[in-house]
Amino acid sequence: MNHLNEIKNIKDLVLKKENTFFVIFIIAIFSLDRLSKVKILNEFNDRVYYINDFINIDLIWNIGIGFGFLSSEISLFYNSITAIIGLVILILIFLSIKSESSEKLIFSIIIGGACGNFYDRLIYNAVPDFIDLHYNNFHWFTFNVADIFITMGIFIFLIKNIFTKN
């Protein structure tokens, strides 16, 4: 009987009306990322497009995690990293469900971006990165729209936790 009450409590948390906004927000971020990647994959596949002296569109396929870290051609390693990323997304969803509205928003930003890159890992076995920021010969890591949201969410989360008392 106790387990049934716990399941009911989790169901009630998930189905709370305020969570609908955050699910829509996650879907919007995921969709924006997908749209940008589809556009790039269809139009910029084999060439570099120079926007200005600081930004290029240059498609690369990232088999690692953020900014190409932990890249490996070994499929067991790639699949293990992908499984860990999936687990982290599930943990973030659980934390989001149990958190207050401001944290739900932060988690939604991260989850939306993470789902975009996770989708690519499952479908393409790599993540298309295409935003190349540079100054002269110095190039930052190439990234995508999902990476922007993930980084922004983590940054907001850190700032919030540094400046709030818990």
Task: Read off the pLDDT of residues 13-61 as tens digits, 9 standing for 90 and up.
Answer: 556 677 888 999 999 999 999 999 999 999 876 777 787 888 888 898 8
DSSP lists the bridge partners of residue 23 as none
Distance from C-alpha of 88 to C-alpha of 150, rounded to nearest angstrom: 13
Closest CA to 143 of 84, 45, 58, 47: 58
The one catalytic residue among 33, 120, 132, 147? 147
In this prediction, residue 159 carries a pLDDT of 94
Residue 127 buriedness (CB in 10 A; 0-12 / 13-18 / 19+) = buried
Residue 117 buriedness (CB in 10 A; 0-12 / 13-18 / 19+) = buried
pLDDT tens digits along 63-91 = 876 555 555 566 787 888 899 999 999 99
Q: What is the pTM of this model?
A: 0.83
With a cut of 90, say whether residue 104 has pLDDT above it: yes
Rounded to an integer, the average pLDDT of 129-145 is 87
> How much is the mean pLDDT over the chain?
85
Distance from C-alpha of 120 to C-alpha of 110, rounded to nearest angstrom: 16
- Catalytic, 129? Answer yes
Q: What are phi and psi of 58, to 5 degrees?
A: -145, 105
- Catalytic, 147? Answer yes
The one catalytic residue among 33, 120, 129, 132? 129
Q: Are 127 and 61 in contact (CB under 8 A)?
A: yes
The pLDDT-based confidence of 9 (bands split at 50, 70, 90) is low
What percentage of residues in the chain have a pLDDT greater than 70? 83
What percentage of residues in the chain have a pLDDT greater than 90? 49
